[in-house]
Amino acid sequence: MIERFHYTELIRPFFNKQIIKVLTGQRRVGKSYILKMLISIIEREFPDGNIIYIDKEKYNFNFLKTDSDLMNYIETEKKSCMNYLFIDEIQDIEGFEHVLRSLHSEPNFDIYCTGSNAKLFSSELATFLSGRQISFHIGSLSFIEFCKFHNYNHDNQSLLKYMQFGGLPYLIHLPDNEQIRYEYLTNIQSTILYRDVISRNNVRDTRFFSDLLNFLADNTGSIFSALKISKYLKNQKINKNVPLILDYISFIENAFLINKVKRLDLTGKSHFEVGEKYYFEDIGLRNSIVGFRTADFGKIMENIVYLHLKHLGYSVSVGVTGSAEIDFAAEKNNEKIYVQVCYLLSNEETIEREFGNLLKIQDNYPKFVVSFDEFSAQNTYKGIAHNTLLEFLKIENF
């Protein structure tokens, strides 16, 4: 296994702490392997502990369907020493939260679990456990991790592969062949759609979801309008009202396939109620829906910059100052950065627009323009920093 130190080091401080560690994220981003990495570390550092590992993806654990089944199994496996309980895809066990709450009160249990449904783990479970859990969102590979996994150099050739195929870890097991890789990505996208969206929410109109995903993929990073989607669907001979469209988009979001990013008034410091944007959790899955097109490079770059900021732990919004829009206003530990993304700084009008929007922000936090091309030897413009996309994705700390 290739260790993803970014996540194991985030979780390590909570070893042997009486708080439930929940790893959330889209299917196939590597939650199971991170769980196994944690098991390996704990076995090495706490050899007297007892490991209880349950993988609901495996047929061997198919008999664990309810909270009673789960508790009975744990009772047979636990020992008097510290028990390290790991449960993969725990949402497939009905009533699992009752077991976690009960075991949490026992001092010789250290609990770790993974799940692939945002609503369950962010609201319902959090309410029931009320402060007894801490969540870690696991994303697909960052660009640096992608290069490490594939043994690639940190160069534009590798970056183009990352922009095309994304960062799902299993790609390292596939040939460097476009057709084969997209067949895999299409299969994963279909699995998420049917298993985590359509089946979980008892939706019967599968064609609608397919068209909705196509719209979201084709409009990545655009200001969202449910009315606009409704008109698009009518052109596809599908009539759905706006509230229903919003519900269905939330289903896709809860499966971690897409991320909603709200617009933030940089003056009033409040989020707008309408007009959010959506970005895909993995750019390869986005491309498997609508293809990898040169005309979409700006959208793809914007999505990748968003994912990088999230990987670094930032809370991300779309910034609005007057009539100007800032692609990303990101905050972490009360520190902020602002980022504009464009494909090419090819003319003076584009340069004035991208840097000019950032110049309108009246604070001294770092500001960046990110493009695919080089800009100047100084890499600045009127005090605003410029990075190529390649340079920006190598930054681990601003």
Query: Helix 283-290 and helix 156-165: axis angle, to 10°?
Result: 60
Whole-prediction pTM: 0.94
- Report the alpha-carbon distance of residue 234 to residue 393 in Å, rounded: 39
Structure tokens at 33: 């392997």
| Three-state SS at 276 | coil
At 25, give phi and psi (nearest 5°).
155, 170
pLDDT at 124: 58
- Report the alpha-carbon distance of residue 370 to residue 388 in Å, rounded: 5
At 218, give phi and psi (nearest 5°).
-75, -20
* Fold annotation for 5-137: Rossmann fold (3.40.50)
In DSSP terms, which residues pair with 21 in a beta bridge?
112, 134
State the burial class of residue 66 (Cβ atoms within 10 Å of its Cβ: 0-12, 13-18, 19+): middle
pLDDT at 30: 94
| Three-state SS at 294 | helix
Mean pLDDT by 10 residues, the chain (398 residues): 90 96 93 96 98 95 97 98 96 90 94 85 64 90 97 97 98 96 96 90 85 92 83 78 88 94 90 89 97 96 98 96 94 96 94 95 94 83 94 94
Residues 6+ apart with CB under 8 A from 398: 312, 335, 337, 366
CB distance 360 to 321 below 8 Å:
yes
Residue 323 identity (one-letter amino acid): S
